[in-house]
Structure 1
C-alpha cells in the first residue's frame, strides 16, 4: 500500500469512530498539506502523511501520557513502519515542545524525537493552525482564539497556545510568503 494511503487508513482506524470531529480536523489538515505541494516538492507525500496522522495521539488506542504529540509519535514508532520523518513531524507539530514544557515532558519529547527541518515544521504548523476543529480553513489568529476559548486561558493548553502564538503566526506567515512567491513565479504575463 502507498505510504499516503496507509497513513489515511491508520488515521481513520484510530480516529473516525471514536473521535469523528478530530478525524474531520485531520482530513482538513491533510487538505492544507496538499495545497502546499508547490513549495514542498519531494516532501509533499511526507507532509500529507504527517498531516493526516498528527492527532492520532488523542485516540484511546494510542493515548498513554495524555500529551497527544508524544503519544501519537510513540504509537507510530512502536506499531507501524511509518517514515521516521513523519514520526518527528507528529511529535513536534505546532510548537509541541512548549506544551511539553507546560506538562513537564519537554526533556522526554526532545530526547525521544529529533525536530524535523524547520521549513517542514513551518508547513506542519501552517496546516494544523489554519484548520478549524471541523476541518475548514481558517486563519491562525482565529484558530489560536478558538483554542484559548475551548480550553480556557489558564489551562495547560490555553497557556501553551498563548505562548506559542507568536511562533505559530510567524510560521504561517513564512509559509504564506513562500506560496505567494511560487504563485507569482508561475502567473502568466
Structure 2
C-alpha cells in the first residue's frame, strides 16, 4: 500500500475538504507540494510524508468534527473509517505540535493514549516544516510569516493564539533543522568538482 498511499490519501482529502472547505483544501495541496520536495531527505518514507501532508487537516471537515480538535478528529476518521496505516494516523494526530494545543484544550491525555507520538523525528519534523511554511491558500511562505498569519486570524488571546505562542520556539527550531538537511542535499544535475 506504500506506493498507493499518496494517491489514496489525496482522494480522501479531496472528498472531505474540497467542496466544504476549499481554502483548507488549497492549504492541504500546498503542504503536499512542499512534501514532494523532501523526497531526497526522506527516502523510503517520502510516500508516507506525502500522504500525511495532504491529510493533516482532514479533521476540519464538518462531518468529522467530533471533538472540534482537528488532529484528533482526523486521526480517528482515518483509523476508524479507513483502517489507515498506523504511522500515517499518528502523524496526522500529532502534526505541528498538536500535543501542545491538545493540552490547551484539555485533550492531551486522550491524544497521547490513542495516538502516541511517532518515534521518527525526521518524519515528524518534515510534516511540521511543510505545514508551517505553507499559507492558508497553499503558497510557500516562511515560518515567521505563517505563525504571524495564524495569530492574526485567530487572535493572540485565543486558544490557538496561546498554542502558537507556546509552540513557536519549537516550530522555528524544527523548520531550521529541516532547512539544514535540505541544504546538505546535493542538487539535481550538480556534480561536485573533483
Q: What secondary structure, in the 3-state scheme, does the structure 2 residue paired with 1:93 have? A: coil
Give the alignment's TM-score, normalised by structure 1.
0.97
User: How far did residue 186 of structure 1 move?
Assistant: 7.4
Mapping of residues 50-65 of structure 1, within 5 Å: 50-65=52-67
Query: Are 1:137 and 2:130 counterparts?
Result: no
Aligned residue in 2 for 1:162: 165
Shift of 1:183: 2.7
Which 5+ residue runs of structure 2 have no aligned equivalent? none
- Asked whether 1:187 is paired with 2:187, we answer no
Aligned to 1:61, the other structure's residue is in SS state: helix
Shift of 1:185: 9.8
Equivalent position to 2:9, from 7, 21, 24: 7
What's the counterpart of residue 87 of structure 1? Answer: 89
Distance 1:14 1:29, change over 3 A: same
- In structure 2, the partner of 1:126 is 129
Supply the distance in 2 between the matched residues of 1:35 and 1:120 (Cα, whole angstroms): 13
| 1-structure distance, mates of 2:136, 2:148 | 12
Q: TM-score, normalised by structure 2?
A: 0.94
Which residue matches 1:108? Answer: 110
CA distance in 1, matches of 2:11, 2:131: 19
Cα separation, 2, equivalents of 1:30 and 1:148? 23
Alpha-carbon distance in 2 for matches of 1:186, 1:118: 29
Name the structure 1 match of 2:70: 68
- Number of matched residues? 189
